[in-house]
Amino acid sequence: MTERAERRFFAREGVDPLTAAFTRKSAVHAGIGGKPVENALIPKTWEKIMNQPRTASSTAYFHIPFCRNHCLYCGFYKYSADRATSRDYTDALIRELHMDRDKPAVFGYPLHAVYLGGGTPTVLAPKDLERLLKAICNILPLANDSEITIETTAADLNEDILSACIAGGANRFSVGVQSFDTAVRKNLGRRSDREKVMECLQSARDKNAAAIIIDLIYGLPGQNMTIWENDMKTFLDLEIDGADLYQLNVFNNTPLAASVETGRLPKPAELAEQAHMFKRGVELMDARHCRRLSMTHWATGGRERNMYNQLMKSGAPCLPYGAGAGGTLGGYLCMVNGHLNTYLKELAAGRKPVSGMLAAPPQKPLINAIAGGLETGYLNMEKIRQTHGIDIESICAPLLEQWWRTGLIHRDGGRVKLTLAGQFWQVNLAQALIDHLLENLESQ
Ligand code: SF4
């Protein structure tokens, strides 16, 4: 094995595994790409996959590309929306829902989770959100226990929005809080202060009609360990249903990177400090007996299931709706056109505006099993051997042995469980295991 390959796959030795197992942290979910479908072949390919029945637990994703905020770390392309835009976009989504409703890929097999994401879906007018949700519930074959999530901000979580979404059938709100600290929030460009965020979350919780989940980020500019602990304790005392704990990633050429570079914002925590914040977050969740549903997600009680995220991370089929939505169907990754006017025009002309497709490689189910397993901190290699006929344990033996020796994994027969350090580096480990496995399969 070359030195470069060693660096890609193997952990550093003789260092603290939590803070220094690798020199760089992978930011995105582990996986592999695919082969682009030629533009001219996209309509025919879409037709083909719409005629293949779904046969596994699945999701539907609705992209609402509007937002009122300008968060510095946000890389999403978004539009502003007035009343007319809200109405026209909702009409277009409902038209899109009707378009393929009788096709085998849509009809005939239950959908287990629906997610309205963006942007900020609650930028749509309450009456538009309600009729969109009602159309989703009427048109799509939802399972009786289907999770229906609306992504929103605390400031948008007002009585009108809550009532409209609940009347429409939503049973879960995912609220981007990031930090409760007013100064840290201001640094990010968030509009509401701690008091306002608390007030909105408390009134949504007291309605007791849907699960309330929040996102928290560690390593934000101006957020030290004390502020992070306060963020965690505030969440735990609020007694809402769950939280995601995410690490801040500062991507090059973003407004956040520029603000840090010019000194307008304090430097965010370095990787080692972020690792300690992660560790503290896990400890505080454990201390309150929260249920861990993935490496980044916890539930405080029985209402929260995190169905959409779990299904997505294990590569479940996903029907995409809305400008810029991405989905996975029939062995293809599909992208709906993200240009708002083009999307609206194509739909008005009666065409599903699919603008990009990638044919997933044949190893995709195996990759999904590895990435989905490690996302929960546990990999049953024996089960993968039985299902996919691939013996990860013997093909990746040197890698697994080194990760065990350096404190990243526990081993138990044909199973691997991530240590706390391994949990922090989970995406690195999943990607390294997938790459190492594929390279060694090719050379066999
Ligand atoms: S609220 Fe969400 S979508 Fe809008 S700018 Fe902030 S992070 Fe981006």
CATH code, domain with 378: 1.10.10.920
Q: Is residue 345 one of the residues assigned to a domain?
A: no
Give the model's pLDDT for residue 33. 73
* C-beta separation of 130 from 74 below 8 A: no
Query: What length does the chain have?
Result: 444
Question: Quick one: three-class SS letters along 181-235?
Answer: CHHHHHHHCCCCCHHHHHHHHHHHHHHCCCEEEEEEEECCCCCCHHHHHHHHHHH
Lowest mean pLDDT among 76-80, 263-267, 272-276: 76-80
Give the model's pLDDT for residue 247. 95
Q: What mean pLDDT comes out for the span 328-346? A: 95
Q: Which residue has the higher pLDDT, 236 or 27?
A: 236
Give the model's pLDDT for residue 1. 59
Q: Is residue 132 one of the residues assigned to a domain?
A: yes
The residue whose CB lies within 8 Å of the most ligand 1 atoms, and thus the one to mutate among 63, 79, 120, is 120
Centre of ligand 1 from the C-alpha of residue 330, in Å: 31
Give the model's pLDDT for residue 285. 98
Q: What mean pLDDT comes out for the span 419-444? A: 91
Give the model's pLDDT for residue 176. 95
Domain that holds residue 386: 363-439
Give the model's pLDDT for residue 198. 97
Answer whether residue 30 shows pLDDT above 70: no
Answer whether residue 238 shows pLDDT above 80: yes
Answer whether residue 6 shows pLDDT above 90: no
Q: Is residue 191 one of the residues assigned to a domain?
A: yes
* C-beta separation of 218 from 247 below 8 A: yes
Atom from ligand 1 closest to the CA of residue 151: 2
Q: Which residue has the higher pLDDT, 53 or 78?
A: 53
Give the residue whose CA is nearest to atom 1 of ligand 1: 69
286 with 152, same domain?
Answer: yes
User: pLDDT-based confidence at 444, cuts 50/70/90?
Assistant: low
Give the model's pLDDT for residue 26. 78
Give the model's pLDDT for residue 8. 76
Residue with tokens 């010019």: 262
112 with 218, same domain?
Answer: yes
Give the model's pLDDT for residue 2. 61
Answer whether residue 31 shows pLDDT above 80: no
Per the prediction, the chain carries an average pLDDT of: 93
Tens of pLDDT, residue by residue over 147-156, are 999 999 998 9
Out of 251, 282, 313, pick the residue that ends a domain: 313
Q: What mean pLDDT comes out for the span 198-210? A: 96
274 with 369, same domain?
Answer: no
Q: At what angle do helices 426-442 and 364-375 cross, to 10 degrees?
A: 150
Give the model's pLDDT for residue 269. 94
Centre of ligand 1 from the C-alpha of residue 384, in Å: 38
Give the model's pLDDT for residue 188. 87
Q: Which residue has the higher pLDDT, 74 or 409?
A: 409
Phi, psi of 187 (to 5 degrees): -55, -35
Answer whether residue 413 shows pLDDT above 90: no
271 with 148, same domain?
Answer: yes
Give the model's pLDDT for residue 96. 98
367 with 308, same domain?
Answer: no
Q: Is residue 11 one of the residues assigned to a domain?
A: no
Q: What mean pLDDT comes out for the span 282-288? A: 98
Q: What are the pocket residues of ligand 1 if the criterion is a CB atom closer than 6 Å to any ligand atom?
A: 67, 69-71, 74, 76, 78, 118-120, 153, 176
370 with 298, same domain?
Answer: no
Q: Is residue 334 one of the residues assigned to a domain?
A: no
Q: Which residue has the higher pLDDT, 29 or 369?
A: 369
120 with 184, same domain?
Answer: yes
* Neighbouring residues of 287: CB distance < 8 A, sequence distance ≥ 6: none
Out of 288, 313, 338, pick the residue that ends a domain: 313
Centre of ligand 1 from the C-alpha of residue 172, in Å: 19
The residue whose CB lies within 8 Å of the most ligand 1 atoms, and thus the one to mutate among 64, 66, 69, is 69
User: pLDDT-based confidence at 316, cuts 50/70/90?
Assistant: very high
Centre of ligand 1 from the C-alpha of residue 281, in Å: 23
User: pLDDT-based confidence at 29, cuts 50/70/90?
Assistant: low
Lowest mean pLDDT among 127-136, 223-232, 248-257, 349-358: 248-257
Between the alpha carbon of residue 248 and those of residues 26, 27, 215, 219, 259, the distances in Å are: 12, 9, 12, 5, 15
286 with 419, same domain?
Answer: no
Out of 254, 279, 313, pick the residue that ends a domain: 313
Give the model's pLDDT for residue 191. 83
CB neighbour burial string for 10-46, b if at least 16 within 10 angstroms, e if fewer? bbeeeeebbbebbeebbeeebbeeeeebeeeebeebb
- In this structure, the dihedral spanned by the alpha carbons of residues 186, 188, 193 and 199, taken in order and rounded to 10 degrees, is 180
260 with 403, same domain?
Answer: no
Give the model's pLDDT for residue 281. 98
Give the model's pLDDT for residue 81. 83
Centre of ligand 1 from the C-alpha of residue 192, in Å: 13
Tens of pLDDT, residue by residue over 134-185, are 999 999 999 999 999 999 999 899 999 999 999 999 999 999 999 999 999 9
Give the model's pLDDT for residue 68. 83
Lowest mean pLDDT among 4-8, 219-223, 421-425: 4-8
Give the model's pLDDT for residue 69. 76
305 with 387, same domain?
Answer: no
58 with 151, same domain?
Answer: yes
Closest CA to 429 of 6, 8, 13: 8
- State the total domains in the chain: 2
Q: What mean pLDDT comes out for the span 331-340? A: 95
Closest CA to 116 of 143, 137, 141: 137
Q: What mean pLDDT comes out for the span 390-415? A: 95
Centre of ligand 1 from the C-alpha of residue 152, in Å: 9
Atom from ligand 1 closest to the CA of residue 120: 3
Q: Is residue 320 one of the residues assigned to a domain?
A: no
Q: Is residue 339 one of the residues assigned to a domain?
A: no
378 with 298, same domain?
Answer: no
Give the model's pLDDT for residue 441. 83
Q: Is residue 219 one of the residues assigned to a domain?
A: yes
User: pLDDT-based confidence at 189, cuts 50/70/90?
Assistant: confident
